Amino acid sequence: MLRRLLLLHVPRRHFSSSFSSALPLSSPTFAVFGANTGVGKTLVSAGLAASLLRSHGASPSGVLYLKPLQTGFPADSDAEFLFRMVPSLLRASHAAHLAASLDILSASPSVEILPPLPEEAAFSYDGEGEVVRKQLSCRTLYAWREAVSPHLAAEREGMVVEDAHVRSRLAACLVEGENLGKGDGEGEVWKLVETAGGVASPGPSGTLQCDLYRAFRLPTILVGDGRLGGISSTLSAYETLLLRGYDVSAVILEDRGLSNDKFLLSYLRNRVPVLVLPPIPEDPSDDLTDWFCESSSVFGLLKDALQSFHSTRIQRLISMQRKSKDLLWWPFTQHNLVHVDSVTVIDSRCGESFSAYKVKDNKMTMTPQFDACASWWTQGPDSNLQIELARDMGYAAARYGHVMFPENAHEPALRCAELLLGGVGKDWASRVHYSDNGSTAIEIALKMAFRKFSLDHGILVDSGKSITNERNIQLKVLALEGSYHGDTLGAMEAQAPSAYTSFLQHPWYSGRGLFLNPPTVFIRNETCTLSLPPWIQHGHLSPGDKCFPSLAEVFCKTRDSSSAADLYSTYISQQLSKYSLSSNREHIAALIIEPVIQGAGGMHMIDPLFQRVLVQECRNRKIPVIFDEVFTGFWRLGVESTSELLGCLPDIACYAKLMTGGIVPLAATITTEAVFEAFKSDSKTQTLHHEDLGPFYSCEVPAAHLLPWHLQPHPKKKPCAWDASELSKTSMFFLSLILLLLDSNLELNWIITRSSRRSMLTALLHGHSYTAHAMGCSAAVKAIQWFRDPSKNSNLDFDQMKLNEMWDGTLVNQLSSLPNVKRVVSLGTLCAIELKAEGSDAGYASLCARSLIQLLHEEDDIYARPLGNVIYLMCGPCTAKDICTEQLSKVYRRISSFNPVH
Ligand SMILES: Cc1ncc(COP(=O)(O)O)c(C=O)c1O
């Protein structure tokens, strides 16, 4: 009986690009794409299938031919063509038995005459030796009556099939096909997936077929075009496939007397075998038997080329775990704890998932894994955006390669700057400084803030044409405990001591800042709860100030007049005053915060009221405010910029990661005009009256160098009795020597400084090799626009310009009530869960989440990496909510039955 799964027309939606099945790898599987329609894909499939089944011995034991989309059905049925043709081509020289089958899974209601399916046939071939058994299965997945493009047929015949359905059915067939003929022998089962029309012909939903099947990334046979114009169409198809990350294993085309194959082979620089078939008879009454006979040696070559491609691929995949363990130095990894089998070999990425090579129960598979860390928080693309970005990268590379930036302009850099200033910098920022990663964006921001502070506070006095600089002044930051701003040495100075800054990690670390312990917010037992640091007495806040029915109340601006706001303000003022009293050399010259969520510090949500008050206190003192939005920016927390959540603006903000959608690195430090002004000058240099302060007694300098030295009161000691700076150079020299000989303790009261007048460059001297590289800027332009566009991003609430809730609220609440869960933070694309851990097992070094992560990895196909005892799921701004729910449900199930094994 024909199985008919008639699907109703449903409006097009954004669906996951992935499928949940692990695709078997042990047997070769190839996609057959055509440079165009009518180039002979089905003949190639048939010739190859016959060549495979004709092979001596038990392997391959079968060929599974899949035609996912068939139009013109039943008059045209490629599966039926193979079903009839291939057995007739098997004039085997050895004894063989072939069982062939033909079936179709769904046909549109317009297909009036349905053939009696499934059909089965058996064939025996005489020959020498023991009889070998082979199987041929020919299957159509979806069929339409009209011989037009699938998208048109689907629309006209009322059977539009969603991409996800096509993919999951195809995946199921590929998995099932692995068992074809099993029982008859253990030979390989080759699988051929023949696409419809050309590489870029649309599928039933309108998605191009090269995109529709991209998640599988099957190695590809490209059937080229031997006709006039065929070089162009074949190369266009080839490049279309390459731009989508396919590997073309062979090109095969008909000989039309134009030697297209020779040109193609030379153009492709012999990287891909190019095979040529004899001219295909044009007479429709020709049964093609002779042509297949004539072509059999070419199909033999094709089979060998594919076999070799497959073996090389598998060998490479098998060797990668060992090789990477031997050659690579992974960041944030204790290599001795990584077993070679646990190395994840990533074959490709498609949207939110990557395909990983896995061996399970001795079977090799390519398994889709949900990338729960969004590849270190960079990823935003769904599969559609990924393709767009890949195309834009190719275009930008081809157009610009790389071009240097100072005093130059190119379209992507300008366009990106406009988007940044009109978006995350709207109403406050007017300048964009590019760099290439988050840490450098931070270092640039610090340099900017320090200059601005120095000018505002008279540390750099711009008196006419001269500037006075006091080098003994130390500029520090105000920051929060648990903060993280990157791994470069300067960025690390701006963070509080942590696991990352210990002596073993960073012996230079001194922590140049005043670090405050902030109140945090989390969900526990379905309630948003404020967690207070020790400096706040619990009794000082009413229950209404500590528990909130929802996150919306936590962000509410009415809290500005609460007693919590007063407490915060008093505390911050006291800390700042205490600090400035303790030293007159050290100044808090910048506030730097990760707005709302501290990522690397453990996914802690800081009370937004506390950060708002902090910003205000710094504003009152003319301390520049830096928002480190490297992690939180560009919709990570459900809004484009976290300023919108905090309800206050910075002077400087840093962006990276999601800004480019995560396809290439690029960073931007954006600022107000006032900060920019601090670096402006009418000449390249300014004259600096420069005073290097140095301890008097330790000056081991030649006399010639001492000459310009003079005596000054020590800034922190007794005031000066007389001004020595007016002494002549010679008297100064002798005075220096006398003081040196007399009493080195004099340095308690006096220090000798060397005075010089020299020119100082005022421009910001900070640039990286790839500053404002065109590919990065182009990617940022695409990603920024895409995330903001409701026609591309179905999660966007356009009126409020924020993302709808991504993580199911009920599930989040249930998670927060589990006995082994300490807290949950769910905001925008992030859902973090801290497991309860005792004593030393808490924090970054915790191993408590390890076994849970392993289970998620192995059993649930979720690739996660813990932050100590915190596990988290992260999706992209465009990820469909059903994907999030599916992943969160898995995590919920796993945690609720989890008993940590330490
Ligand atoms: C808040 C924050 N700032 C800065 C950085 C550093 O960015 P990058 O890794 O691109 O140097 C990170 C990286 O995770 C981050 O989370």
- Tens digits of residue pLDDT in 571-598: 999 999 998 888 778 999 999 999 999 9
What atom of ligand 1 comes closest to residue 629's alpha carbon?
A: 1
Strands 547-548 and 652-655: unpaired
**CB of 640 sitting under 6 A from ligand 1:** no
Lowest mean pLDDT among 7-11, 89-93, 500-504, 668-672: 7-11
**CB of 45 sitting under 6 A from ligand 1:** no
The pLDDT of residue 400 is above 70: yes
CA–CA separation, 663 and 391 (whole Å):
11
CB atoms within 10 A of CB 124: 11
In this prediction, residue 690 carries a pLDDT of 46
DSSP for 19-81, please give it. Answer: -SPPEE-SS-EEEEEESSTTS-HHHHHHHHHHHHHTSSSS-S-EEEEEEEEE-STTTS-HHHH
- pLDDT over 90, % of the chain: 76
pLDDT digits (tens, 9 = 90+) for 379-395: 998 899 999 999 999 99
DSSP state of 585: S
**Atom 10 of ligand 1: nearest residue by CA position:** 438
In this prediction, residue 692 carries a pLDDT of 43
**Contact predicate 745/760, CB 8 Å:** no
How remote is the CA of residue 438 from the centroid of ligand 1, in Å? 5
What atom of ligand 1 comes closest to residue 594's alpha carbon?
A: 1
Residue with tokens 């925008």: 828
CA–CA separation, 188 and 364 (whole Å):
13
Extract the tokens encoding 703. 């006399």
Q: Give mean pLDDT, residues 675-698.
A: 65
**CB of 627 sitting under 6 A from ligand 1:** no
In this prediction, residue 9 carries a pLDDT of 32
The pLDDT of residue 682 is above 90: no
Q: Give mean pLDDT, residues 54-76.
A: 92
Q: Closest Cα to residue 297, out of 29, 47, 34, 40?
A: 47
DSSP for 588-611, please give it. Answer: EEEEEE-SSEETTTTSEEEPHHHH
How remote is the CA of residue 491 from the centroid of ligand 1, in Å? 9
**CB of 351 sitting under 6 A from ligand 1:** no
**CB of 484 sitting under 6 A from ligand 1:** yes
CA distances from 303 to 7, 243, 265, 300 (A): 37, 25, 18, 5
CA distances from 548 to 527, 555, 813, 889 (A): 7, 10, 14, 25
**Atom 2 of ligand 1: nearest residue by CA position:** 485
pLDDT digits (tens, 9 = 90+) for 433-448: 999 999 999 999 999 9
Extract the tokens encoding 247. 């590997």
pLDDT digits (tens, 9 = 90+) for 178-198: 888 765 557 899 999 999 999
Query: What residues have CB less than 8 Å from 489, skipping those under 6 apart?
Result: 506, 508, 509
The pLDDT of residue 104 is above 60: yes
Q: Give mean pLDDT, residues 481-500.
A: 95
Query: Domain extents for the chain?
Result: 2-6+29-315, 440-667, 694-752
**CB of 846 sitting under 6 A from ligand 1:** no
**CB of 445 sitting under 6 A from ligand 1:** no
**CB of 656 sitting under 6 A from ligand 1:** yes
CA–CA separation, 313 and 364 (whole Å):
12
The pLDDT of residue 63 is above 90: yes
The pLDDT of residue 551 is above 80: yes
**Atom 3 of ligand 1: nearest residue by CA position:** 485
How remote is the CA of residue 390 from the centroid of ligand 1, in Å? 24
Q: Closest Cα to residue 91, out of 286, 292, 283, 331?
A: 292
436, 441, 444, 446 alpha-carbon torsion, rounded to 10°: -160
How remote is the CA of residue 374 from the centroid of ligand 1, in Å? 14
CA–CA separation, 146 and 135 (whole Å):
31
Fold of 2-6+29-315: Rossmann fold (3.40.50)
**Contact predicate 889/811, CB 8 Å:** yes
The pLDDT of residue 747 is above 80: no
How remote is the CA of residue 774 from the centroid of ligand 1, in Å? 22
DSSP for 769-812, please give it. Answer: TTTT-HHHHHHHHHHHHHHH-TTT-TTEETTTTEEPP-S-HHHH
Q: Give mean pLDDT, residues 538-549.
A: 86
In this prediction, residue 18 carries a pLDDT of 57
**Atom 16 of ligand 1: nearest residue by CA position:** 631
Residues in the chain: 902
What atom of ligand 1 comes closest to residue 376's alpha carbon?
A: 14
In this prediction, residue 814 carries a pLDDT of 97
What atom of ligand 1 comes closest to residue 483's alpha carbon?
A: 1
**CB of 628 sitting under 6 A from ligand 1:** yes
**CB of 485 sitting under 6 A from ligand 1:** yes
Residue 705's pLDDT band, with cuts at 50, 70 and 90, is very low
**Atom 8 of ligand 1: nearest residue by CA position:** 438
How remote is the CA of residue 492 from the centroid of ligand 1, in Å? 11
CA–CA separation, 578 and 572 (whole Å):
10
Indicate the average pLDDT of the chain: 88
CA distances from 426 to 81, 307, 446, 628, 666 (A): 62, 57, 21, 16, 20
Q: Give mean pLDDT, residues 280-307.
A: 96
How far is C-alpha 15 from the chain's CA centre? 19
Strands 586-593 and 625-628: parallel
Q: Closest Cα to residue 633, out of 589, 676, 593, 604?
A: 593
**Atom 7 of ligand 1: nearest residue by CA position:** 438
Quick one: which H or E segment has residue 503? Answer: none
**CB of 165 sitting under 6 A from ligand 1:** no
Determine the straight-line distance between the first and last CA of the chain, rounded to whole angstroms: 56
Residue 325's pLDDT band, with cuts at 50, 70 and 90, is very high
Q: Give mean pLDDT, residues 398-418.
A: 97
**Strand ranges (E), 324-473:** 345-350, 353-360, 363-371, 431-435, 461-463, 466-470
CA–CA separation, 811 and 107 (whole Å):
39
How remote is the CA of residue 441 from the centroid of ligand 1, in Å? 9
Choose which residue among 375, 485, 655 to substitute to test ligand 1 binding: the one with the highest number of ligand atoms within 8 A of its C-beta: 485
Fold of 440-667: Aspartate Aminotransferase; domain 2 (3.40.640)
In this prediction, residue 749 carries a pLDDT of 43
Q: Which amino acid makes up residue 22? A: A
**CB of 305 sitting under 6 A from ligand 1:** no
**Contact predicate 219/250, CB 8 Å:** no
In this prediction, residue 839 carries a pLDDT of 63
The pLDDT of residue 471 is above 80: no
CA–CA separation, 902 and 900 (whole Å):
6
Q: Could you tell me the sign of the dihedral formed by the alpha carbons of 422, 426, 430, 432, in that order?
A: negative
DSSP for 161-185, please give it. Answer: --HHHHHHHHHHHHHHHTTTTTTS-
Residue 149's pLDDT band, with cuts at 50, 70 and 90, is very high
Is the full-model pTM beyond 0.75? yes
